[in-house]
Chain A
Amino acid sequence: MSLKIVREPINKYMQKIPLGLIHIIPERCKECGYCIDLCPKDVLEVGDERNIKGYRWPRVADGKAAECIACRMCEWICPEFAIFIVEADRREYV
């Protein structure tokens, strides 16, 4: 790109990028990794703890929580109903 000036929209303050609060039901997770792999923002990673069946459920990677944009891909792809998103007002948290 030759144009170096990156213009910021003047109404940027009005734009709301949604924030997703990540909720996990550890006992349901089977560690398939879909939520982790398919998160467009790399918010999730494999956790350390294991559930009763021995699977490590996902957790939010360090410092990544605020990057969740509540796209819900993790929630939709999860075959176990083990992860879901509650949308929040970004301004309240970040």
Chain B
Amino acid sequence: MGQKVVLRERIVDESPRDDLIRRERFPHIWCPGCGLGTVLKCYVEAIAASNIPPDKHVIVSGIGCTGRIAGYVRLDSYHVTHGRPIAFAEGMKIVRPDLEVTVISGDGDLVTIGGNHFIHAVRRNVDINVFLVNNFIYGMTGNQMGSTTPLGAKSSTSPYGCPEPPFNLPLLAAALGAPFVARWTTLHVRQLADAMKRAMNVKGFAFIEIISPCPVGFGSYNDLRDGRDYIKLFLENCIVDHSADLNKVGITLKPGEPIILGNFIDREAPTYHDLELEVFKKAGWLK
């Protein structure tokens, strides 16, 4: 006691969170500096803090870099077809309302090829969590532009700059009636994990857009070649404004134009499950 010990790092081979990851599959496939591992970290921390036993948590993901996330979480985990994890999660949640079903997938997966399922799941207010990781690009297939690529940004299929305006996802989700809408970056680890935990406890469709570094893909085309460039971008441009006007939170990545973060919406609305119980009553199944 009280006597000085020479302190230095300790080399070990497992982490205290290894119970919630498939540690035998680490190191994972993501590039150095990719934000997806941090999303995974925040998700498992949120699970640990959620007061819902891990055996009741289910993760569903689709195709792409983010789609691989289901394979690294030690939960019931389903890695389905491109664009379809939300529909899969809906089927699962409807027959097993006791499960805490979370979809984590990419922008291309959830709102481009899978956009139809996204809008309808929000409209129905199925009680699932959707954590959309937005890296502004199709990383795994070789950095093609997508529906979230900012106007003018370069990619392997937009050599002259992306000719299309991107989605403003918090606005989209809010307009469809989502009870919970947030946006964070992978730099905002605690806020992100707190938002995830909140999402797990929200009744109804909870949506978080997570802005994530993709230094090897999007970054290599747009002067963000190192994860540190992204950190700088986030530190310099992010503004937290929980009551932001969602019409104005579209992301341009232009110098001087902020990336607005926050827990924008947290409200109550009848869930698909609530409304289905009404149907059961009218049909005579429930009193």
Contacts and interface: CB of A to CB of B under 8 A. Distances in A.
A–B touch (CB < 8 A): the answer is: yes
Contacts of B142: none
B133 to A, nearest CB: 12
Interface string B1-35: 11011111111111111100101001110111111
Nearest to B230: A34
B109 to A, nearest CB: 19
B34 A93 contact: no
Interface of B: 1-2, 4-18, 21, 23, 26-28, 30-38, 40-42, 45, 186-187, 189-190, 193, 226-228, 231
Contact of A32 (B4, B33, B189): B33
A78 B37 contact: yes
A21 interface: yes
B232 to A, nearest CB: 9
Contacts of A91: 1-2
Interface in A31-57: 31-34, 37-38, 53, 55
A70 interface: no
B9 A33 contact: no
Given A30-B31, A34-B228, A76-B193, 11 more contacts: A30-B27, A31-B32, A32-B33, A34-B33, A38-B231, A76-B189, A79-B33, A79-B35, A79-B37, A79-B41, A81-B37
Contacts of B21: 81
Contacts of B189: 73, 76-77
Contacts of B1: 91-92
Given A28-B27, A38-B231, A80-B28, A60 B9 contact: yes
Contacts of B226: 33
A91 B2 CA distance: 6
Chain B interface, >50% SS class: loop
Contacts of B41: 75-79, 81
B13 A25 contact: yes
Nearest to A91: B2
29 contacts: A21-B10, A23-B9, A23-B10, A23-B12, A24-B10, A24-B12, A25-B12, A25-B14, A28-B27, A30-B33, A33-B227, A34-B227, A53-B27, A55-B32, A59-B8, A65-B7, A77-B186, A77-B189, A79-B34, A79-B38, A80-B26, A81-B18, A81-B21, A81-B23, A81-B37, A81-B40, A91-B1, A92-B5, A93-B4
A34 B10 contact: no
A80 B23 CA distance: 10
Nearest to A24: B9
A77 B9 contact: no
A23 B32 CA distance: 20
A55 B265 CA distance: 41
Nearest to A29: B27
Contacts of A27: 13, 27
A25 to B, nearest CB: 6
A22 B17 CA distance: 15
A18 interface: no
A77 to B, nearest CB: 6
Contacts of A37: 228, 231
A93 B13 contact: no
